[in-house]
Amino acid sequence: MTEILRLEHVDFIRSHRHILSDINFTVNAGEHWALIGPNGAGKSTIMSMCGAVNHPSGGYVYVLGHRLGRVDIRFLRQKIGHVNPRHPLRSALTGRQVMLTGLTGTTELMVRWESDVDAESRADELVGLLGMHDLQHRNWETMSQGERGRTLIARALMSDPPLLLLDEPSTGLDVAAREEFLATVDELHELQPELATVLVTHHLEELPETTTHAMLIRDGRVHASGAATEVLTTELVSECFSYPIKIDHQDGRWQARAMRVRSKVTA
């Protein structure tokens, strides 16, 4: 297997407080990981290291074979796709123009930057891959959240990265838009079998069917990690969230609901 990402005994300290402690995490090509845990557990901090944004206070982070601290971060970030539903675009760009900003790593189109033949060819390829023939001409401001999500996936894939990070990608989506988005992710995994993905979410219902692995994070530590079907269980998820949560896995999708705890009433 080709290793894409590895965190080795990683600690992260901020303002004298341990945010992460002894995190070990390896992602190989073709694996699709979900990071799950309570608010403040450290998921976003782990994701920031996966995206070469933050460096560890202790331990080592290897991204695409390069150790953070010993590689040009700008070079590395160009090889990582990142989907953030809170994309802060303010200009009236079309879907295709938003896609092209993935090559410059900017939110807006760079002044005096022009796409070349290779860039336009890649955009055409993604338009076909993600079914964006009409959407590429739509204005960002008129798109639904689901359409924006698909556009941001295309943007993240413009540089043909081996690693795609999905940071709470279903934020702000209604049920129909969420299901459409997850179907797009599942299709992408099937069409690009070597692509590795890491997805952060609070809700198991937001996991694609193609999720292969999961890591539960609690209090800045790994609570459980491995094959998704072995980690996302009633026992482990309940322990992670310190609350009784029943987990069901049917037709490739997960569902979580609170287990009723009957109180004893004495006469």
Q: Are residues 19 and 62 in the same domain?
A: yes
Residue 263: is its pLDDT beyond 80? no
Q: Are residues 71 and 166 in the same domain?
A: yes
Task: State both tokens at 152.
Answer: 């941001």
Residue 253: is its pLDDT beyond 60? yes
Q: Are residues 63 and 170 in the same domain?
A: yes
Residue 80 pLDDT: 93
Alpha helices in the chain (DSSP H): 43-50, 73-77, 95-100, 117-129, 145-157, 175-191, 228-231, 234-241
Task: State both tokens at 51.
Answer: 């995206």
Where in the sequence is the domain holding 114, given as residue range(s)? Answer: 89-160
Q: Are residues 66 and 175 in the same domain?
A: yes
Q: Check which CATH number belongs to the domain holding 154 and give it.
A: 1.10.8
Question: If we measure between CA atoms, which residue out of 145, 201, 156 comes closest to residue 178?
Answer: 145
Report how far residue 48's alpha carbon sits from residue 198's, in angstroms, rounded to the nearest whole number: 11
Report how far residue 50's alpha carbon sits from residue 155's, in angstroms, rounded to the nearest whole number: 18
Q: Are residues 103 and 213 in the same domain?
A: no
* Strand-strand pairing, 253-258 and 245-250: antiparallel
Model-level pTM?
0.90
Q: Are residues 166 and 100 in the same domain?
A: no
Q: Give CB contacts under 8 A, 24+ apart, made by 237-240.
A: 237/36, 237/204, 240/36, 240/37, 240/38, 240/216
Question: If we measure between CA atoms, which residue out of 179, 188, 184 comes closest to residue 253?
Answer: 179
| Confidence at 264, pLDDT banded by 50, 70, 90 | low
- Tens-place pLDDT, residues 162-182: 999 999 888 878 898 889 889
**CA distances (Å), 6 to each of 2, 35, 234, in order?**
11, 14, 28
Q: Check which CATH number belongs to the domain holding 9 and give it.
A: 3.40.50.300
Task: State both tokens at 112.
Answer: 């005096």
| Tokens 């953070």, located at residue | 68
- Tens-place pLDDT, residues 98-121: 999 998 888 888 888 888 999 999
Report how far residue 41's alpha carbon sits from residue 218's, in angstroms, rounded to the nearest whole number: 5
* Cβ within 8 Å of residue 263, ≥6 positions away: none
Q: Which amino acid is at 171?
A: T
Tell whether 266 is covered by a domain. no
Q: Are residues 138 and 66 in the same domain?
A: no
- Tens-place pLDDT, residues 46-104: 999 999 999 999 999 999 999 999 988 888 888 899 998 888 888 889 999 999 999 88
Residue 24: is its pLDDT beyond 60? yes
As a whole number, the mean pLDDT across the chain is 91
Q: What total of structural domains would you count in the chain?
A: 2
* Cβ within 8 Å of residue 19, ≥6 positions away: 12, 13, 42, 45, 220
Residue 262 pLDDT: 61
Question: If we measure between CA atoms, which residue out of 126, 117, 101, 146 comes closest to residue 192?
Answer: 126
Report how far residue 37's alpha carbon sits from residue 42's, in angstroms, rounded to the nearest whole number: 8
